[in-house]
Amino acid sequence: MRASIYKLDAFATQRFTGNPAAVVPLGVFARDATMQAIASENNLAETAFFVPSGDGYQIRWFTPTVEVPFCGHATLASAAVLMERLHPTRTDVVFQSASGPLTVERRSKYYVMNFPARILQRLENTPRLGRVLGAEPFEVHRDNLNNYVVLFEQAETVRSLAPDLEALARLNCTGVIVTAVGDSGYDIVSRYFAPAKGIPEDPVTGGAHCALTPFWASRLGRSEFRAYQASQRGGEMFCRLLDNRVELRGSVVFYLEGEIEF
């Protein structure tokens, strides 16, 4: 079989920044093992596969090692493929997913995504995190997808962390989101480590901001803010809390368009 493939930089305004994602449109989903093999071959944080379903699409996401229930940046990339390549007259799309319906609208050069907010619970006893991350947290929370959300007092601490990734992969969690009040004109800064999912550090993570948006809305006293994920590639997005939903706004840049055989 042959299928089109696209590689895009999500949450980016210029190539080689943001978070790369591969997108593979299909008529019907391939076997799970085949999609996992394609994602492993791509060796990106996520590869998205989508198929037509009524007026919208069904979407699934794979890291190099596992299927995941949600991925923000690959959803953004998939929406761009649909609205800029496959159906350029469309201005919105609804993806049906394991995390429920995900709406994406095209507004000028931006895409606005509407995702479910994550529920957080503060934790008191996490003695290993300081040793694993290389700095002592100010607060630790857990979201409903089993990620730790770790608050530090300084943005520079977040930017300079060099965690023990092997130890982090052994923690009882999906991944670790680290965050602080922002610098350099941003309201918040963050990073995301998920070696247990085959992603040592994710460059820019829409899903993490579904937890960070309600987390910071209560602390900043407002529902909208500008966020920066301080990975080596780096990327920014605008976040807005809407009751139990999160609105994320970002841009995307096309990098590669071709065909795969499997």
Structure confidence at residue 252 (pLDDT) = 97
pLDDT tier for residue 141 given thresholds of 50, 70 and 90 = very high
- CATH number of this structure's domain 120-243: 3.10.310.10
How confident is residue 9, by pLDDT bands cut at 50, 70 and 90?
very high
For the chain, give the percent of residues with pLDDT over 70.
Answer: 100
How far apart, in whole angstroms, are the C-alpha atoms of residue 192 and residue 202?
Answer: 6
Q: What is the pLDDT of residue 126?
A: 78
**Mean model confidence pLDDT for the chain:** 97
**Could you list the active site residues?**
46
- Do 120-243 and 2-115+248-261 fall under one CATH topology? yes
3-state SS assignment for residue 196: helix
Antiparallel, parallel or unpaired: β 199-202 and 224-229: unpaired
Residue 62 is which amino acid?
F
The residues spanned by each domain of the chain are 2-115+248-261, 120-243
Lowest mean pLDDT among 31-40, 47-56, 121-130, 233-242: 121-130
pLDDT in tens, 47-97: 999 999 999 999 999 999 999 999 999 999 999 999 999 999 999 999 999
Point out which residues pair with 240 in neighbouring strands: 224, 247
Mean pLDDT across the stretch 184-197?
Answer: 97
Residue 128 — pLDDT band, cuts 50, 70, 90? confident
CATH number assigned to the domain with residue range 2-115+248-261, chosen from the 4 options 3.40.50.1820, 3.40.190.10, 3.10.310.10, 1.10.3720.10: 3.10.310.10
CA distance 73 to 44: 12
**82, amino acid identity:** L
